[in-house]
Structure 1
Amino acid sequence: MTGVSAGRAGATGVPVRVRLHELAARPDGEEWIVGRMSTGRFVALPDDGKRCLDLLGQGLSLPEVAARIQEETGEEIDVPDFVEALIELGFVAATDGHDLPSEAVPTPPLARIRGHHVRWMLNPFVPLLIGMLICAAVVVQVSRAPVPLTYRSLLWSSHGSLVIGMSAAAGWTLLLVHECAHLLVARATGVPGRMRLGTRLQFLVVQTDISGIELAPRRHRLTAYLAGIATNLAVAATGVLAASLADPGTTLHRLLSALTLLALLPLPFQLLVFMRTDLYFVLQDLTRCRDLFGDGAAYTRYAARRLVRVAHRALPAPEDPSRELPDHERRAVRTYSVVLVVGTALCLLFLAAVTLPADVTLFARAVSGLGPDHSWTRNLDATAVMAALGGMHLLWLRTWWRRRRTTRRG
């Protein structure tokens, strides 16, 4: 996209007038958040930049915009450079009456569901109702015979295949419902949203891109970020209440107990804010940071280079990237960088000490279980284990590589 736009600008020279795509904007402190909902690309602009954008949108030529800005503020703005940056961002639809190549806008999932269909999800009574549901479940859990929520709850049947099948089906269903909650709340604010596979360190995850939610009011932003967690808690609360009505020891009671636990199990993962979980975005919003993870990673690299320079004083002193940030952002970024380093190190240690040895052992046992010397059931079991382990790791590698390649192009 950037290369095509730059080539177009170089071929036609400096344009005189431009036509902008439909852009949305919201004031944010001393700056403005501006961007295209359809592409999910947004930038922060100062007041002068926002005023320049408004004048371009009114159809004024570039020289007229420069003259108007200088007359109003006394400042000189390089409008051609500003327009070139807008072209690279994909904000400009045409220059001097000539349409510019534009990136294809993908069709969002659940495209038939429009904002007005799910506007009710932004009603303040919705979190109140969910809170009441959770409180009712807590009261039932405390005052009556509690629904068992131990690992034994997952072993609801003596048939292992039924346990694994139900856990997989319910787990993936809950995961999709969790992500759809993010998607639909964002859709209610006018953000199309998109779901795709992603990676968080060694974990394969389903993630929902709701770029553009930055333009919504804070209450709507926090609602979108917390919608998945609220959905899991609502499902768990419903499971507790339903299980309290079933006879203990019955299959229905055991199934509802298992469903309740499956809904609660993903929630501790949300505390790992160093992996940009739902609670990470809440933290980023509350600390008023633009890119807490990106700035934290940049500061971590700076700190590492600084340590290397201590050992090799001949190296040039690195520049602190957080120095340009506002005071409140600088403090948050430096604190988050510690969480980022410690959390990442612990996750990778767990991968090396537990996950990989377990996977390698399972794979080796499966390989040894293949061959004509073993029964057909042993061969079938070994093949299933190898396909499951190999498939998951290959899917992780493919997802990681695609994300890395996309990042490089960006």
Structure 2
Amino acid sequence: MSRLGLDSRPGVANLVVRRETEDEFVVGDPASGNFVVVPEVGARLVQLFAAGRTVAEAADEMERETSEPIDALDFVEVLVDAGIIDGHATEGTPPATARHWSVSRIPARLVRPLFGRTAWTCYVGALVASVAMFVAEPSLLPTYEDTFILPDVVLSLLITNVVVVVLTVVHEVWHAFAGAAVGVPSRLRVERRGIFPVLETDLSGLWALPPERRYGPFLAGMAIDGVLLFAAVAPRFAWSRGWVDLPPDLIRVLAMVVFSQAVKLAFQTLAYLRTDMYLVMATATGCQNLHQVTRLSLKRLFRLLSPEEATILRHAHARDLRVSRWYRLLYVAGLIWLAWFVLHFLWPSAKVTFGWAGGVLIGAPLLSAYWWEGIALLAFASLNVLLPLGVIVRNRHRARKAVA
């Protein structure tokens, strides 16, 4: 086994090449979910490799076509670094494939009706109806107290966490279903967005599709969130108007679901955290690295750029630089919203949780049932802090392994 060289024939049989813009192409492997944007020369090199040319032969052919020297080996190394092709010259070795989420392998014909015109009309209608009910009855708007559905704080947090996890899985399943509807398998993983731990459905294979076919899978999670929000708001709205009689426990559970779904939908609009709406905006604008370019352009305003970051910004795509001029307003607005959310929701909830746990641990007999409830509550609360840190450590470890 040896490194790819000028006499190597890179294995590109499983790669897809698709024109993204007039002068850019997407090249990648749907099996691994890794894609890069390359100029027309790169797309032509992939075609030559697919035709059986060695790296040196492809470079010579491109020099004849363009009348300029082409570093084909450097291009191959870009594909290797991106994880698109194997970096070793081997014969008969099957390409690496990703471990896809089994739910994403459902046949397209079974899930395609969930994302047709009628379905999207229902998704939008449910969200609009929920907003209308909030306007008509502002008392239905969520507050942090809605997470405490029972007098027992530990039991409340246990139920709330279980419900939130289940609803989050439903959100990700809908992403996977939408991907399957267009023939793209996906992976489920734990990631971090700002201070929040999140489940994420990796639909990298969508980048092999035209932009107009990506929007549905990107928005699918928000679509089902809107339906679930409506399903929780509507009974409470009917109860508030005296149309139905509901048990108090059910009203509190519905309020907790409303809180969960409303926060989740609001969170997805925070494009600066690279949420679902960020992917929609990046696709609509045709940007390659909008998030990083925007972040670095803001740092430049305060003269905080490192030499490496200044180099990245100097060589950024003109489209990313142009869009970042207005996108950074949304970026800053998202930071302000997050600060408001922390102040009005997370901080009051944390005070109640940690205050109650501290009082129990101090006042309850050591190792008593009540004392153990305090420990359990402290563990629940600490998990939301430690999980994002764990994701950071994991990602840095993976990055170091990739470099090695």
CA contact (8 A) 1:18 1:97 kept: no
CA offset at residue 37 of structure 1? 1.4
TM-score, normalised with respect to structure 2: 0.79
Does 2:363 align with 1:365? no
Separation (CA, whole Å) in 1 of partners of 2:103 and 2:170: 13
Percent of residue pairs identical? 24
* Structure 1, unaligned runs of 5 or more: 1-6, 310-315
SS of residue matched to 2:17: strand
CA contact (8 A) 2:196 2:384 kept: no
Separation (CA, whole Å) in 1 of partners of 2:332 and 2:161: 32
Residue aligning to 1:250: 247
Residue aligning to 2:265: 267
Q: Kindly tell me: are residues 39 and 352 of structure 1, through their superposed partners in 2, closer, same or farther at Cα, counting changes over 3 Å?
A: same
1:47-102 Cα shifts (integer Å, max 9, x gaps): 12101111110113334423432333333322233333334444445977635696
CA offset at residue 296 of structure 1? 2.2
Residue aligning to 2:3: 9
Q: Kindly tell me: are residues 146 and 92 of structure 1, through their superposed partners in 2, closer, same or farther at Cα, counting changes over 3 Å?
A: closer
SS of residue matched to 1:83: helix
Letter in 2 for 1:130: Y
* Structure 2, unaligned runs of 5 or more: none
1:16-27 paired onto structure 2 within 5 Å? 16-27=8-19
Does 2:58 align with 1:61? no
Q: Kindly tell me: are residues 367 and 228 of structure 1, through their superposed partners in 2, closer, same or farther at Cα, counting changes over 3 Å?
A: same
- Structure number with greater CO (CA < 8 Å, separation at least 6) is 2
CA offset at residue 184 of structure 1? 1.8
Deviates more, 1:344-353 or 1:289-298: 344-353
CA contact (8 A) 2:176 2:186 kept: yes
1:4-403 paired onto structure 2 within 5 Å? 8-9=2-3, 13-29=5-21, 30-92=23-85, 98-99=91-92, 103=96, 105-110=98-103, 112-134=105-127, 148-151=140-143, 163-241=156-234, 244=238, 247-251=244-248, 254=251, 255-256=253-254, 258-304=256-302, 306=303, 319=310, 321-337=312-328, 339-340=330-331, 343-344=334-335, 347=338, 355=347, 358=351, 361=355, 364-372=358-366, 376-403=368-395
SS of residue matched to 1:43: strand
Separation (CA, whole Å) in 2 of partners of 1:141 and 1:16: 64
Q: Kindly tell me: are residues 256 and 202 of structure 1, through their superposed partners in 2, closer, same or farther at Cα, counting changes over 3 Å?
A: closer
1:361-393 Cα shifts (integer Å, max 9, x gaps): 455434423544xx9343133222222233443
Separation (CA, whole Å) in 1 of partners of 2:310 and 2:142: 51
Q: Kindly tell me: are residues 91 and 132 of structure 1, through their superposed partners in 2, closer, same or farther at Cα, counting changes over 3 Å?
A: closer
Separation (CA, whole Å) in 1 of partners of 2:14 and 2:300: 38
Deviates more, 1:262-271 or 1:203-212: 262-271
CA offset at residue 173 of structure 1? 1.5
Q: Kindly tell me: are residues 137 and 203 of structure 1, through their superposed partners in 2, closer, same or farther at Cα, counting changes over 3 Å?
A: closer
CA contact (8 A) 2:29 2:35 kept: yes
CA contact (8 A) 2:10 2:85 kept: yes
CA contact (8 A) 1:109 1:195 kept: no
Letter in 2 for 1:299: S
Task: Tell me the C-alpha RMSD between the 2 structures.
Answer: 3.9
1:272-324 Cα shifts (integer Å, max 9, x gaps): 222122222222222221121122233344444x3689xxxxxx898464444
